[in-house]
Amino acid sequence: MSSQPISTTQAAHSQAAAGLSCRDLVSIRDLRPQDIEDIFHLAGLMKARPSRFRAALAGKQIVMFFEKPSLRTRLTFEAGMASMGGWTSFVDQTHGRLDGREKLSDIAHNLERWVDGIILRTFAHRTVEGMAEHACIPVINALSELEHPCQALADYFTLRERFGDLKKICLAYVGDGNNVAHSLLLTCASVGSKIRIATPPQYAPDAHIVADARDIAAHTGATIEIVTDPREAVFGVDAVYTDAWTSMGHEHESEERDRIFPPYQMNRELVAGAAPHAVFMHCLPAHRGMEITDEVIDSERSVVFDQAESRLHVQKAILLLLLGGEASRLPVRSAHA
């Protein structure tokens, strides 16, 4: 597995202090290509030298409101904040929507007076948008029904560690055209890579997301292909990715989806069409025997747990770049670090 250079100049010091061009991370569309490069570079530094960031967010506090269950998202944000000296408060909203008790703008104006950032895992994307509109502190989308930006950024960080130049690889995604597929499309477009999405016709990605991805790709040189044949999608690719056939909130459709999606199962026969060096990806949790077989997810070419680890490093970088911190506490890069 290749790795990015740990240090070359003073740039990391000023990069973390300057932050991202956006105030919030509601959608991958909020990020410029340079922002994604900055996130990846900083995540690489944090992965290689975590001890140098132990006080980077000392005194900073975030609150997390989750309307959906979580393992990786919650724990990586909590562990990430703690590892940088920050503090996290978790509010379980799985028994009621965030704005079910009081107006969302009222919640936002309370939170901005108490904490430094807000992380939301919601059913409705408009909840994240509304919080970002009303709160004057950073808001991070930790999953909505439209996008999962932190996941896609971690996935492409994983691919960059494995293959190096993202412009030279092709990722195939097979299955439901869901929030993960949307964020993968937009991230691919921003980094100038290549992606093929294969879904049943009635479960294709959102047309607006596809159009936005193609608009971005026109400037970055990325290639976006939307097909229905999973074998066409995986032919010769460097990575094959899948996700659950039925996302949270669509459980009432599970029987119908279970009848439609078997041709898109990520199994030995399907991945045989990929390049010999191809890796296998899943954002987890996996429904083994459904969208992916044990033989594939447990193989030596599976990087699912690398993806899960990348969530920690990438989210730490996002937190630091959005929340800031005392620049004097950030590590200075040198040619010998």
Q: Over the stretch 52-93, which tens digit does the pLDDT of each residue have?
A: 999 999 999 999 999 999 999 999 999 999 999 999 999 999
User: What percentage of the chain reaches a pLDDT higher than 70?
Assistant: 91
pLDDT over threshold 60, residue 19:
yes
Residue 155: per-residue pLDDT: 99
The rounded distance, in Å, linking the Cα atoms of 131 and 98 is: 10
Examine the residue annotation and report whether 148 is marked as an active-site residue of this protein.
yes
List domains and CATH numbers for the chain. 11-147+311-329 (3.40.50.1370), 151-308 (3.40.50.1370)
> Which of 74, 148, 182, 313 is flagged as catalytic?
148
Residue 17's pLDDT band, with cuts at 50, 70 and 90, is low
The rounded distance, in Å, linking the Cα atoms of 167 and 291 is: 28
The rounded distance, in Å, linking the Cα atoms of 227 and 107 is: 42
Instruction: Note the Cα 323 to chain centre separation in Å.
Output: 18
Residue 90 main-chain phi, psi, to 5 deg: -105, 130
3-state SS of the chain is CCCCCCCCCCHHHHHHHHCCCCCCECCHHHCCHHHHHHHHHHHHHHHHCHHHHCCCCCCCEEEEEECCCCCHHHHHHHHHHHHCCCEEEEEECCCCCCCCCCCHHHHHHHHCCCCCEEEEECCCHHHHHHHHHHCCCCEEECCCCCCCHHHHHHHHHHHHHHHCCHHHCEEEEECCCCHHHHHHHHHHHHHCCEEEEECCHHHCCCHHHHHHHHHHHHHHCCEEEEECCHHHHHCCCCEEEECCCCCCCCHHHHHHHHHHCHHHCECHHHHCCCCCCCEEEECCCCCECCCECHHHHCCCCECHHHHHHHHHHHHHHHHHHHHCCCHHHCCCCCCCC
Residue 9's pLDDT band, with cuts at 50, 70 and 90, is very low
Examine the residue annotation and report whether 150 is marked as an active-site residue of this protein.
no
> Which of 93, 151, 307, 315 is flagged as catalytic?
151
Q: Average pLDDT, whole number, for the chain?
A: 92
Residue type, 205: P
CA dihedral 272, 273, 274, 279 (to 10 degrees): -30
Residue 10: per-residue pLDDT: 45
Residues 6+ apart with CB under 8 A from 56: 16, 84, 85, 320, 325, 329, 330
Residue type, 243: D
Tokens of 213: 């991805």
Beta bridge partners of 241: 173, 281
The rounded distance, in Å, linking the Cα atoms of 98 and 122 is: 8
Examine the residue annotation and report whether 311 is marked as an active-site residue of this protein.
yes
Residue 247: per-residue pLDDT: 83
pLDDT over threshold 50, residue 5:
no
Residue 245: per-residue pLDDT: 96
The rounded distance, in Å, linking the Cα atoms of 250 and 203 is: 12
Residue 15: per-residue pLDDT: 58
> Which of 72, 74, 311, 333 is flagged as catalytic?
311
pLDDT over threshold 70, residue 299:
yes
Tokens of 91: 């509010």
Tokens of 251: 């459980």
pLDDT over threshold 80, residue 3:
no
The rounded distance, in Å, linking the Cα atoms of 206 and 180 is: 12
Residue 325: per-residue pLDDT: 60
The rounded distance, in Å, linking the Cα atoms of 302 and 322 is: 32
> Which of 72, 74, 121, 182 is flagged as catalytic?
121
Instruction: List the 87-92 sheet strands across, edge first.
Output: 87-92, 61-66, 117-121, 139-141
User: What percentage of the chain reaches a pLDDT higher than 90?
Assistant: 87
